[in-house]
Amino acid sequence: MSDTVLNPSPSSAPSSAPPSGAVKAPMVRRMMFAVALAAIAGLMFGLDVGVISGALGFIRDEFHATDFEQSWIVSSMMFGAAVGAVGAGRMSYAFGRRRSLIFSAFLFVAGGLVCALASSVSELIIGRAMLGLAIGIGSFVAPLYISEVSDISRRGSLVSMYQLMITLGILLAFVSNAILSYSGSWRWMLGIMAIPGTFFLIGSFFLPDSPRWLMLRGRHDEALSIMKELRHNPELAHQEIRDIQGQIHDRQRGLAMFLENRNFRRAVLLGIALQVMQQLTGINVVMYYAPRIFQEVGFGSSGQIWGTAIVGVVNWLATFIAIAFADNWGRRPMLITGFAIMSAGLAVLATIMSGAAGNTDLSHYLAISVLLCFIAGFAFSAGPLVWVLCSEIMPLQGRDFGITCSTVTNWVTNMVVGATFLGLLTTLGASHTFWLYAGLNALFIFMVLFFVPETKGVSLESIETKLNQGVTLRNIGR
């Protein structure tokens, strides 16, 4: 992707593309280490999102947890993540990206152990909230850190690696769930997460501080010496430090700008709407409750757990489609196609769940096929592109504030979806619940048609200029 990133950093999503055809600078080992280690935060994020679907059934049986309690075991993580995302901006400014990552890694390990050793539902909820806090901080700081230490010629692809690591984490968790499901050891499912977490924790002590953060704190000499370690050429390091120096004069503005500037408000509200749409596709219903969905369709226990693992594979693979095509095909066509596929897939699933197709092998295979189409539809469209668009539409001066608002919205809506799904199944029934999500996805096609700009190949400066001229949101891109 050119000037776009997947799941981008709040403040330093690149403001302009590296010149096309620019020669890529040789990768310095120190930079690779920093990027790879920070990307483990994405892996941890994915692992913790993915693990609960496999563990939930066993937890329910051991603690006789009600639907309400199960919903909170799932959703306390999103609550923690929303709180973490709200606080992460200030924390990473005050204490630095590196220390924030160390804190997040510590919470990953501690939260994983609290969950694995929990002796009651409330302890589990506390452990999940700690993991959520870790995810909320990590999902803000890690992409930010990666974009600040990587060189401009690779920044887009290195940050997009973070989103790929999330989907890889989900996949690995689904596979580990499948393997551990035979023994029913949900404590191992949750506890095993502490292993990569410990890796992440130890490694993060060796991370260099972000030069950009050091500059923000006025520590110029340290910033320059770290930048020299991260770049193959000292002249390049000096140049980047000079560029940062030039940029940091533009102080970030937030709430005041939101209240007084109508155009900034429009961008923030579009970001919020995009994240609400992403979550109301119902993606996390599948991520958290996939085995339960397979059970509703009529699969036995091993079918449920392996079906879920295949969901993880498709989610991971289809993310590559977004990386390959978003800059050629464009955001709007990909989003519209994605929502159409998701809507149609869920409508067929709802029909199968109504019993109209009977409980046959054929209906089982049809159910799994449409669910996989739904996942693929999400993974190449709303999954990554909503994050991309949220960074593209925010004016530079308000980017921290704007992206914090949309990221928190993502987690809050995520929590609402996670907390209401089992209740919806009980009150509306499976078929009507999926009709509801199918309808929402159909509605989002129109939302994209009317409100979402095409930002492919358009510079962020041009988007900002049109936004400030009061051009309708749909036309601030091309």
Burial 189-216 (b: 16+ CB within 10 A, else e): bbbbbbebbebbbebbeebbbbbbbbbe
Angle at 326 between CA 338 and CA 284, to 5 degrees: 40
C-alpha span between 113 and 104 (Å, rounded): 14
Q: How far is the CB of 291 from ligand BGC (least distance, A)?
A: 16
Per CB under 6 A, contacts with ligand BGC among 82-141 are none
Which C-beta is closer to ligand BGC: that of 92 or that of 315?
Answer: 315
Which residue stretch of 112-120, 277-285, 336-344, 434-442 sits at the interface with ligand BGC (rule: CB under 6 A)? 277-285
Identity of the residue, 284 or 455, whose beta carbon is nearer to ligand BGC in the bound complex: 284
Euclidean distance between CA atoms 264 and 293, whole angstroms:
41
The H or E element spanning position 155 is: helix 155-181
Q: Should residue 410 be labelled a site residue for ligand BGC when binding is judged by CB under 6 A?
A: yes
Q: Distance (Å, rounded) from C-alpha 248 to C-alpha 255?
A: 19
Measured from the CB atom, the residue of 264 and 374 that comes closer to ligand BGC is 374
* Residue among 7 and 363 whose Cβ is closer to ligand BGC: 7
Joined together, the tokens standing for residue 410 give: 């993502």
Structure tokens at 186: 């949900």
Q: What is the nearest approach in angstroms of ligand BGC to the Cβ of residue 227?
A: 31
The 335-374 contact track toward ligand BGC, x by CB under 6 A, reads ----------------------------------------
Site membership for ligand BGC, residue 74 (CB under 6 A): no
In whole angstroms, the minimum distance from the beta carbon of 378 to ligand BGC comes to 7
Biggest CA–CA distance in the chain, Å, is: 71
Indicate the residue whose CB is closest to ligand BGC. Answer: 383
Beta-carbon-side half-sphere exposure of residue 451 (alpha carbons within 13 Å): 17
- Asked whether position 388 contacts ligand BGC by CB under 6 A, the answer is no
Q: Cα dist. 246→216, 231, 243, 397 in Å? A: 11, 19, 5, 14
| 284 part of the interface to ligand BGC, by CB under 6 A | yes
Q: Please, what is the minimum distance in Å from the beta carbon of residue 82 to ligand BGC?
A: 12
The footprint of ligand BGC on residues 24-53 (CB under 6 A) is: 49
Minimal distance, residue 336 CB to ligand BGC, in Å: 18
Interface residue with ligand BGC, options 80, 291, 338, 383 (CB under 6 A): 383
Binding ligand BGC by CB under 6 A: which of 283, 285, 346, 473?
A: 283
Which tokens go with 313? 């594979």
> Shortest approach of ligand BGC to residue 233 CB, angstroms?
36
Residue with tokens 């409330």: 122
| Contact mark string toward ligand BGC, 222..261, x via CB under 6 A | ----------------------------------------
Q: Which stretch binds ligand BGC (CB under 6 A): 22-30, 88-96, 163-171, 456-464?
A: 163-171
Dist. CA 163–CA 246, nearest whole Å:
30
DSSP, res 27: P
CA 79 to chain centre: 15
The reply to whether 12 sits near ligand BGC by the rule CB under 6 A is no
Contact set for ligand BGC, span 308-337 (CB under 6 A):
315
Stretch that binds ligand BGC, among 60-68, 110-118, 164-172, 429-437 (CB under 6 A): 164-172
DSSP 19: P
User: Cβ of 217: how many Cβ atoms within 10 Å?
Assistant: 14
Q: What are 301-305's contacts with CB under 8 Å, separation 24+?
A: 301/181, 302/181, 303/364, 305/54, 305/177, 305/178, 305/181
Among 104, 308, 414, 431, binds ligand BGC (CB under 6 A): 414
Residues in Cβ contact with 360 at an 8 Å cutoff, skipping those fewer than 6 apart = none
User: What type of residue is 430?
Assistant: A
Residues that bind ligand BGC in the complex, under the rule CB under 6 A: 49, 166-167, 170, 278, 283-284, 287, 315, 383, 410, 414
